[in-house]
Structure 1
């Protein structure tokens, strides 16, 4: 029989059982059937073994983490499946990239999120370098009033001026330094050739409020509480992912699709 880490522990338990007057090794492993002295002796045997073989602890932790990761991935896949319509076809979120792409990438983002800003050029590079990815942006302002103002402005731009204007404003807000004050937003609109007055008037509309509320409700269903969060096909990726990791996930989704 090949060596396994459990064998020394089993031997220790058997020795304790023999010393106790004939109890079985199985009984020796059951704390309910052990005397205080047996439990103490067995604990010392386990302690000595682990001190002499500390790698066993790391192996056990690794196995536990892998099982927890697999369980989380399965749970997230079910969440995506159960909320697919709201994720991939809500009727209002901006859609870019290739509308007929074989993989859909969805990003829940906040303009004031440092990791969203870090991910922005990498997401753009992913879309440009692949050519077969459909990108959906979900406005998910969770980092305070400046986040909410920025999202309201972006959504209002989409309603007033269309998807191309939204993309230009989205990119500008992602790069904006400082607070999105009214004066800043007006200048931004004018620099892009947009109707600042109409956009500003739309920001507090019921439609803008509805879209943000529906995205928040969806995020709650998906148990999303941070940005960025991505959906790649049927995978939920919580947190920032560098370009090479996103490319690997896309390749994996294609291979499994």
Structure 2
């Protein structure tokens, strides 16, 4: 058992003891006072452990959130799925078309797909940076509605996210036209109920997971925030695949 778990155990025990539960009855008032004094003294001498315990608690909370939202996170009928649809590991990315770090991370995603034939990639729109981001996301989801295979959407995604300048309605529509989308249907659907529901679903997931910026990822039962690069993401994929940093 790690040191942090050894520390967490008496903290939890002490907390339970102070609630008046059945377990609390196993400690005398003097014992409870002594336990509290030991814990307080330890944290005074080792303040860095408070941060470690908080990090552990946040990690456990995130893992519960991933489990609680597993179906919508990994298998929503509204999501875009790239790579191998039957892959043994799923990488979920939350992104914004106006996020500079997401633009950098686009090459990371394409490299991971190329290097991992059994990787399944799920994209979730998270337009948080501007009104233009929201407009671009609405067009993107409307394009995705026309393309269940994800191939045309990927073309759209790469051209819009990889292009220069700010993404907005005009640019997104121009890219949609360039990749051969049905423009009458795009313009009709982008303000429709299904697009609204898809975006709301992504926002709800991001809130449940505590994501506030892009890009943010989920791999297995782990979350990664930021454009951390191919190496870090590959390590997370390997951990999910075989339980080790290298498979």
Query: TM-score scaled to structure 1, two decimals?
Result: 0.71
CA distance in 2, matches of 1:180, 1:201: 19
Corresponding position: 1:134 with 2:120: yes
Pairwise CA distance, 1:256: 3.0
**Paired residue for 2:194, among 207, 220, 223?**
207
Corresponding position: 1:228 with 2:215: yes
Pairwise CA distance, 1:89: 1.2
Q: Structure 1 unaligned runs (5+)?
A: 1-29, 31-56
Partner of 2:95: 109
Pairwise CA distance, 1:64: 4.1
CA distance in 1, matches of 2:198, 2:161: 20
CA change 1:69–1:188 in 2 (3 A) is same
Deviates more, 1:210-219 or 1:190-199: 190-199
Cα shift readout 1:51-71 (whole Å, capped 9, x = no counterpart): xxxxxx9x9465444333322
CA distance in 2, matches of 1:181, 1:84: 31
Paired residues of 1:102 and 1:133 also in contact (CA < 8 A): yes
Corresponding position: 1:189 with 2:181: no
3-state SS in 2 of match to 1:72: helix
Paired residues of 2:92 and 2:121 also in contact (CA < 8 A): yes
Corresponding position: 1:177 with 2:164: yes
CA distance in 2, matches of 1:158, 1:81: 26
Partner of 1:240: 227
CA distance in 1, matches of 2:180, 2:79: 22
Paired residues of 1:161 and 1:194 also in contact (CA < 8 A): no
Pairs within 5 Å for 1:6-17: none
CA distance in 2, matches of 1:197, 1:253: 42
Cα shift readout 1:110-146 (whole Å, capped 9, x = no counterpart): 1111111111111211121011111100011111111
Partner of 2:77: 91
Paired residues of 2:214 and 2:226 also in contact (CA < 8 A): yes
Corresponding position: 1:219 with 2:206: yes
CA distance in 2, matches of 1:215, 1:105: 15
Report the aligned-residue RMSD. 2.3
Partner of 2:63: 77
Cα shift readout 1:30-84 (whole Å, capped 9, x = no counterpart): 8xxxxxxxxxxxxxxxxxxxxxxxxxx9x94654443333222222111101111
Pairwise CA distance, 1:207: 1.0
Paired residues of 2:94 and 2:125 also in contact (CA < 8 A): yes
CA change 1:245–1:185 in 2 (3 A) is closer
